[in-house]
Amino acid sequence: MSFSATILTLYPDMFPGPLGMSLSGDALARGVWSLEAKNIRDHGLGRHRTVDDTPAGGGPGMVIRCDVLASAIDANVPAHDPRPKLLMSPRGKPLTQSYVRELAAGPGVVIVCGRFEGVDERVIEARGLQEVSIGDYVLSGGEMAAMIVLDSCVRLLPGVMGKEASGTEESFESNRLEYPHYTRPREWEGRPIPDVLLSGNHAMIERWRREESERITRERRPDLLTSERN
Ligand code: SAH
């Protein structure tokens, strides 16, 4: 059974977009995962297919209506669909590599992409949407955030990355940032590849990588060394 993604969006034409290329695109073409993008506007009201309205209590912007979004969810997601229903939102649970692993190990995801000021709170509660944030900044819509969730999940699916690059040594695995990489040429603009990497001594190479990993993490992200977040 492959990982299946259903996206509810006002801009279905944005998909697969970058997900149709490279690693994720090849995997999509091979059926390792599937993607459908559904237009929330198909469930809009009246002749203009209206999906939003002004915020109760006043203030700027528009809010996606709960009834419209619920219809879009109900029409596209069967009642006992086992996939988690995510809502992209700056208020959400931060996306981390361990959260990505958890999602990638499951049957797939339903992702609701917000626009404008966001969505009516009641539909979040009534349809059990789990809010997910990709970082502490504000985007204009959830589509690119959804692509980030999918890209990070898809590369972990079996058969997407080579066995060699299984991802276990990468940044954020075991709360460390990755060590530096080098490839040919051996010397470039007066900068040599560190001798140890050319030594053929695998124990020394492993130790050097572990130490570099720790040094870089201490310098750039000391918070990772003390946190449980990954
Ligand atoms: N008024 C909202 C921001 C709305 S931005 C607030 O202050 O919290 C419009 C939409 O973009 C959101 O509904 C959400 O779907 C998406 N979005 C914006 N920033 C995001 C982030 N950091 N992570 C995930 N989705 C985000």
Binding-site residues from annotation: 114, 134-139
Residue 149 shares a structural domain with residue 176? no
Residues 113 and 90 in one domain: yes
| pLDDT tens for the 230 residues of the chain, in order | 799 999 999 999 999 999 999 999 999 999 999 999 999 999 999 999 999 999 999 999 999 999 999 999 999 999 999 999 999 999 999 999 999 999 999 999 999 999 999 999 999 999 999 999 999 999 999 999 999 999 999 999 999 998 655 667 788 988 999 999 999 999 999 999 999 999 999 999 999 999 999 999 999 999 999 976 65
Binding site listing for S-adenosyl-L-methionine:
114, 134-139
Pocket-testing residue among 88, 148, 152, ligand 1, by greatest number of atoms within 8 A of Cβ: 88
Identify residue 7 by its one-letter amino acid code. Answer: I
Same domain, yes or no, for 142 and 176?
A: no
Which domain-ending residue is among 154, 179, 209?
Answer: 154
216 CA from centroid of ligand 1 (Å): 31
pTM of the model: 0.96
Same domain, 107 and 175: no
Say if 159 falls within a structural domain.
no
Give the span between the Cα atoms of 51 and 72, in whole angstroms: 10
Q: Is 102 contained in some domain?
A: yes
Exposed, middle or buried by CB within 10 Å (0-12, 13-18, 19+), for 138?
Answer: exposed
8 within domain boundaries: yes
> Could you tell me if residue 180 is inside a domain?
yes
118 and 193: one domain? no
